[in-house]
Structure 1
Amino acid sequence: MARSNNQKLKLLYLYQILLDETDDTHSIGTQQIIDELDSRGISAERKSIYTDIKALTEYGADIIGEKKGRGYEYHIGNRPFELAELKLLVDAVQSSRFITRKKSKELIRKIEGLTSTYQAKELQGQVFVAQRIKTMNESIYYNIDMIHSAINSNKKIRFQYFNWSVDKKQELRHGGEYYSVSPWGVCWNDEWYYLIAFDDKTREIRHYRVDKMKKLTLTGEMREGKDSFESLDMAVYTKKRFGMYDGKEERVHLICKNDFAGVMIDRFGKDIPFSKVDEEHFEVTVNVAVSGLFFGWIIGLGDGVRISGPSEVVDKMKEVIKRLNEVYGI
């Protein structure tokens, strides 16, 4: 591009130089700015730099100038994201199992572009993506986007659903039959994204792991199940399900040692009432979907928590323990 044409981009290049090369601890002098612009085919004089920076400031850019010797040095002040906030975003991307390794690296590079080259190096120091357990389904991002489009347009979706086989291959469920559902929400639970939907076939609310969906498309049919979802609290729905496994919903009584108060609050929230049993124990009553994962959670808490009712749930717990005893020859 000819130098005369580049002059039209002078203000944009100047702002980008300040964004890339400066932050709270790194400034750039007028001559450095002139040199950077020259490397981009743009000629500039000191007086024009002052005028341009004033224009950018009037536009809303937070450019801080400090007099150094006979000239000024400049740096960007406030940015849309602080470094600490960007570090949180990088941590979230790294720890998210549903984001593939490839996409994690792409997203982190984009996050690095939101700060200076110096602070970007601090973000790079956090990156340990290679050893994290990640999903292998690259289409999840498009699936989530399409689900939101379906919700916004009040349309149903259809998709195939798969499980992983012992030889690490995708096996379509129900022989590859397409699921037809009305999407009503997406939730994040135990490091996975789940679609919450009204299923055409069962006429019930069901949930599906988004990363296990294949060939997801919108249909021209209007959504169903509005009445079911108007009375559904999504947060309560996910809280009742351990690992998002379905099971018969029961009102379960738990006797807990006092030291396990935090465990109960972390799982069920601060609103659940505690009833004192004795000096060392309290009781809580919670609504849960009784499943194998729920019993596994109880077992994992050792002697700190035990199910006291209802009797049929206690009996199921005993059956689980009996099977474990048989498996381990106890």
Structure 2
Amino acid sequence: MRGESQIRILHLFQFLYRNTDEMNPASVADILRFWELQGICSERKQVYKDIALLQDFGVDVIRIKSTQNHYFIGNRLFELPELKLLVDAVESSRFITSKKSGDLIRKLGQLTSNTQAEQLDRHIYMDGMPKPSNEAIYYIVDTIQSSIQSNQQISFQYYEYLPTKEKVLKHQGYRYQFTPYALIWNRDHYYVVGWSEKHMKLSQFRVDRMTSVEMMDQPGHQLLGFEPAEYVQKVFGMYPDDLQMVTLFCENDVMRSIIDRFGEGVRTEVVDDDHFQAIVEVAPSPPFFGWIFTFAGKIRILKPDNVLEEMRQMASWL
């Protein structure tokens, strides 16, 4: 019957997809045995016909010719090295909770054979930073993305921590009214950047500290000229105020770090055989000064004087 043939072919595809790969092909006898376990009685000729139908449909079923032919699924949506890369990214992300990491890795394992899926059981050794516990963050991101695409405002509450590590809502549970423009990944955290009605300016919030996020019926506030990529490059640690042109005096071996931070279009000029200058537009904030400190004198601020003085004051705190 037609229904039985459709079920038979579906079972065949499922068997080949989940149980075969280049190193683990299946024989015709294996397929007949699997069909029998599913309550399907058939013969060898039907295996050949059904495999031909799968191939005509576009499934990459590879035949290994021998005294007893063997078959396996060749090309898949993702190759094994690509899946390993995705698993490593999921495992190492601090944005994704441990529970969600496990769920996603199991789902990725369903995109390959059972044998290859075992190779996805791998662990990335992180630098000691914990994963988050807020499972709602995925739905918050989805709501923010939807509001960006539809140009609608959102409302939300924001929480902070007491010295006892207890979470408390900021400003006694005040609901922020906000037009999101972009989600930005910064130092392994998600930030949403947009127009804050409370602050009446461009602002940003860490997504994992937002709660009770709702999309509003009101259209978003229009802000011309906002470029997320430019914003990320200029703003260290999400401090957008008072951008200034700063001249840095650098040793030659830090050119790679300057380009990594500011891009290949950064303005530079040679000073002498050992040094160069870089002119960058940044927010002179603690994260920026902290970045300068990490180079232990190999990058120094030359001007303007007010930024140099701020750096000196920060150094005096240490």
Under a length normalisation based on structure 1, what TM-score does the superposition of the two structures give?
A: 0.92
Cα distance in 2 for residues equivalent to 1:127 and 1:106: 16
Cα distance in 2 for residues equivalent to 1:11 and 1:23: 18
Tell me the CA shift for residue 82 of structure 1: 0.8
1:171-320 pair list within 5 angstroms: 171-224=168-221, 226=222, 228=223, 230-320=224-314
Cα distance in 1 for residues equivalent to 2:35 and 2:292: 65
Cα distance in 2 for residues equivalent to 1:208 and 1:296: 21
Query: What per-residue deviation string (whole Å, max 9, x for no partner) do you get for residues 113-136 of structure 1?
Result: 11111111111134669x762111
Indicate if the aligned counterparts of 2:92 and 2:124 stay in contact, CA closer than 8 A.
Answer: no
- Determine which of 14, 35, 38 is the counterpart of 1:37: 35
Indicate if the aligned counterparts of 1:252 and 1:309 stay in contact, CA closer than 8 A.
Answer: yes
RMSD: 1.8
**Matched position secondary structure for 1:44:** coil
- Determine which of 52, 56, 59 is the counterpart of 1:58: 56
Cα distance in 2 for residues equivalent to 1:113 and 1:62: 17
Please identify which structure carries the higher helix content. Answer: 1
Query: What per-residue deviation string (whole Å, max 9, x for no partner) do you get for residues 221-259 of structure 1?
Result: 1111x2x2x312211101222222344211111000001
1:4-23 pair list within 5 angstroms: 8-23=6-21
1:82-231 pair list within 5 angstroms: 82-126=79-123, 133-224=130-221, 226=222, 228=223, 230-231=224-225
Cα distance in 2 for residues equivalent to 1:248 and 1:18: 61
Tell me the CA shift for residue 5 of structure 1: 6.9
Cα distance in 1 for residues equivalent to 2:316 and 2:177: 40
Cα distance in 2 for residues equivalent to 1:166 and 1:74: 62
Tell me the CA shift for residue 4 of structure 1: 10
5+ residue gaps, structure 2, are none
Query: What per-residue deviation string (whole Å, max 9, x for no partner) do you get for residues 272-293 of structure 1?
Result: 1221111110000111111111
Tell me the CA shift for residue 206 of structure 1: 1.0
Cα distance in 2 for residues equivalent to 1:246 and 1:171: 25
Residue 26 (str. 1) matches residue 24 (str. 2) = yes
**How many percent of aligned residue pairs carry the same amino acid?**
39
- Determine which of 55, 70, 76 is the counterpart of 1:73: 70
Residue 5 to residue 39, structure 1, CA distance change in 2 (3 Å): farther
Residue 165 to residue 39, structure 1, CA distance change in 2 (3 Å): farther
Tell me the CA shift for residue 163 of structure 1: 1.7
Indicate if the aligned counterparts of 1:7 and 1:42 stay in contact, CA closer than 8 A.
Answer: no
**Matched position secondary structure for 1:50:** helix
Cα distance in 1 for residues equivalent to 2:203 and 2:178: 9
Under a length normalisation based on structure 2, what TM-score does the superposition of the two structures give?
A: 0.95
Indicate if the aligned counterparts of 1:248 and 1:291 stay in contact, CA closer than 8 A.
Answer: no
Cα distance in 2 for residues equivalent to 1:4 and 1:76: 25
